Structure 1
Amino acid sequence: MIEPGQIELAALIPPEAFDAAAQQAQADMADSEDSGRLKRAMTSLVGPRIAAAMSAKLGQMDLLPLFIQGWGKSPAIEAEAKASETSTEPRFIRLGKLEQDLDLYPILGISGFGLTANPIQFTLTLKAEFEAIEVGVNNGYVVQIGGGLCRLAAVLKLGQLTFPSGFDPVEWQVGKGRKFEKPGVALLSRS
């Protein structure tokens, strides 16, 4: 069970998955066709740091705003967001059941000793199921959420390999929820 507040990727992907992905990335870098002896040597030196860099950069990522931005694609939520643009107080709507899939494409760059290796591109696949969540919308932004619960799962992919090997959902009891700093998380695209 995840505590209320920020939902970090580290709560969904165990540290050993970052380690396994880092080992695979290191092996791929060492085997790449354009890596000379010096780059392969650099890869063996920085290899152990790949997992730490992944954990530091990805593990602390707050996932909730990423999912919320996707809520604006729902016609009902988009209509509420547009209606909230003229109100001075938040409008509250209740989400019944909302399932989302989200793919992100983080890139990890590695350099050292004056050399730069080819960036490593991962795919981060996230799945969420929100149920009975109350959403406060003001001026087209989500300003707070509360109520219901959420089931979240994530896998990190490198090429054809996934880390961990499957989706194990983690439940997050929203409860009193979370308030976002003004203006909030945008539901509508801003031009």
Structure 2
Amino acid sequence: MDLLETMQNRRSVRSYTGEKIAKEKLDKILQAGLLSASGRSRKPWEFVVVQEKETLEKLSHCRVGAAKMLENAGCAILIFANPEKTDVWVEDCSIVMSNMHLMADSLGLGSCWIQGRLREAENGESTEVYCRKLLNVPEKYVLEAILSVGILKEHPKAHTLEELEKEKVHYETY
């Protein structure tokens, strides 16, 4: 499968079997993240991988109405950043998330981007504070997002090139 086909196939998956992710596949997803481009190669990110079911259940409460799939995920990968390293940490961490999302799909796994920055946990704390406390992350790090990864129950239908909104592309001028 070429990259464009992988991108067409990649969908946000929120329904998992609860099975663990094979170490080889998890390693490839993490490698895809670590290989990501970053502004001036600052690489401000830190990954926290969660595989324990009890912690995944607690993490499922980190976002109001948006993280329940973590209960049955094989793992969660939280992307934190040190904002002192660069002012483009949001963009850098977004590239990491996209690369890992694509890698997960290319390996036959499901994944979903759970936005963490500027979001609220079910207990009223910010998602960032909730996750930082739960996972003992030092205060200098800020949360961008969480990638849920799991063995999917069913893969949603792939996107087609025909459904692309080509009118959003402008050449030379708007």
Q: TM-score higher than 0.5 here? A: no
Task: Decide which structure has greater helix share.
Answer: 2
Q: Which has the larger radius of gyration?
A: 1
Normalising by the residue count of structure 1, what TM-score does the alignment of the two structures yield?
0.22
- TM-score under structure 2 normalisation? 0.23
